[in-house]
Amino acid sequence: MIALQRIGWGTIILFGVSVLTFLLAFVVPSDPAQTVAGPKADRETLELVRREMGLDAPMPIQFARYVGRLVRGDLGRSYVTRQNVRDAILERVPATLYLALVSLTLAVAVGITIGVATAVREGTSIDLGVLVASLVVLSLPVFWVGILLLDAFAFRLRWLPLGGYGGARFVILPACALALGNAMYYGRVVHTNMRDVLGQDYIRSARAKGVAPWRVCATHALRNALIPITTLVGLDFAGLMGGVVLTETVFNWPGLGRLAVEAVFNLDIPVIMGTVQLSALIVVVVNTLVDVLYLAIDPRIRYAR
């Protein structure tokens, strides 16, 4: 069945990702043994470390070991902090998750509102104005929006704190920064879909039956417009989990993104690989889920097969 096929592809892709990450790590010019042992280590210590880390084995064997560890959930140990990579990552995941969820909820809420509002007023200057505004807002770099928001609301107005982790007061600015672009995008999608749906026959018949226009919108049209949104939200969630790097840096948010950046600066290979691997995992899992869900929601696709 199709769902199984998707899951199968997902696994293959994950394997491909692990190959890629492994190869990348192998290409690194810096010598891991050196990093771990420290700059003043002598040759013998280096050799010892190298053997302990398994770096003297030929590449395929190292890869096999790597995959074996991966499957068991062992992501290695950080070169810098000697902490278990998996623990380090899991520490940060909730923060990023929190931010991603809040931001997505905001984006969906705002997006749907905008989309419906403009679809109903089609062709008017409001519609056109919103279209242009959307394109502009979409082009704004996230971190710039973040900086401006920080400056405006945290520094000048002193309504909100200057960054950091916490409850509603802390999360709202970064979530807004992230949500802005997505909201505009969802707005456009909803708008286009609503327009298509509103022009169709069954809407007209509902109206002819005397159903109040408001109800027509809400129940019939909206439901159909929401289908592509679900796919998009799924994809965006996956993207967000990996890609909130910039926002987290601006707002000092202790999440996965910042972990990745720190790791890059420290050339902490295991952490980098771990984060990349995890992001890919999340993306693939969510995508597969979305694919399967889509098959369930939209009967047309099922029958088309």
Partner 1 sequence: MVLSVVIIALLAPWLAPYDPLRAVADSFGEPFAPQHRYLLGTDELGRDVLSRLLFGARISLLVAAAATAMTMLIGTGVGLAAGFFGGWIDALLMRATDVVLALPDLLLALALVALIGPGLTSILVVIGLVRWAGVARTVRGEVLTLRERDFMLAATALGASPARVMIRHLLPNTLPTIIVMTALATSGAIVLDAGLSYLGLGVPVPTPSWGRMLSDSQTFYRSAPWLMVFPGIAIVYAVIAFNFLGHGLLALLRSREE
Residues that bind partner 1 (CB under 8 A): 9, 12-14, 16-17, 20-21, 24-25, 27-29, 135-136, 138-144, 147-148, 151, 155, 238-239, 241-243, 245-246, 249, 260-261, 263-265, 267, 269, 272-273, 275-276, 279-280, 283-284, 287
Q: How far is CA 153 from CA 172, 174, 207, 271, in A?
A: 11, 12, 46, 34
Q: What single DSSP character describes residue 79?
A: T
Q: What single DSSP character describes residue 124?
A: S
The packing angle between helices 85-120 and 222-243, to 10°, is 150
Judged by beta carbon, residue 207 or residue 249, the one nearer partner 1 is 249
* Shortest Cβ 153–partner 1 spacing (Å): 13
* Shortest Cβ 147–partner 1 spacing (Å): 6
Q: Closest by alpha carbon to 280, among 84, 19, 4?
A: 19
Judged by beta carbon, residue 147 or residue 206, the one nearer partner 1 is 147
Q: Report helix, strand or coil for 84.
A: strand
* Shortest Cβ 205–partner 1 spacing (Å): 28
Q: Closest by alpha carbon to 91, among 256, 273, 263, 305?
A: 256
Judged by beta carbon, residue 25 or residue 295, the one nearer partner 1 is 25
Q: Closest by alpha carbon to 76, among 270, 272, 279, 278?
A: 270
* Shortest Cβ 124–partner 1 spacing (Å): 19
- Asked if 260 and 89 count as a contact pair (C-beta separation under 8 A), the reply is no
Beta-bridged to residue 77, according to DSSP, are 84
Judged by beta carbon, residue 22 or residue 221, the one nearer partner 1 is 22
Neighbours of 104 (CB within 10 A): 23
Q: How far is CA 39 from CA 34, 36, 288, in A?
A: 7, 9, 45
Judged by beta carbon, residue 224 or residue 266, the one nearer partner 1 is 266
* Shortest Cβ 187–partner 1 spacing (Å): 15
Judged by beta carbon, residue 106 or residue 268, the one nearer partner 1 is 268
* Shortest Cβ 98–partner 1 spacing (Å): 18
Find the Cα–Cα–Cα–Cα dihedral 105, 110, 114, 117, rounded to 10°. 90
Judged by beta carbon, residue 155 or residue 159, the one nearer partner 1 is 155
* Shortest Cβ 267–partner 1 spacing (Å): 6
Judged by beta carbon, residue 203 or residue 255, the one nearer partner 1 is 255
- Give residues with Cβ within 8 angstroms of 144, minimum separation 6: none
Q: What single DSSP character describes residue 162?
A: S
* Shortest Cβ 175–partner 1 spacing (Å): 18
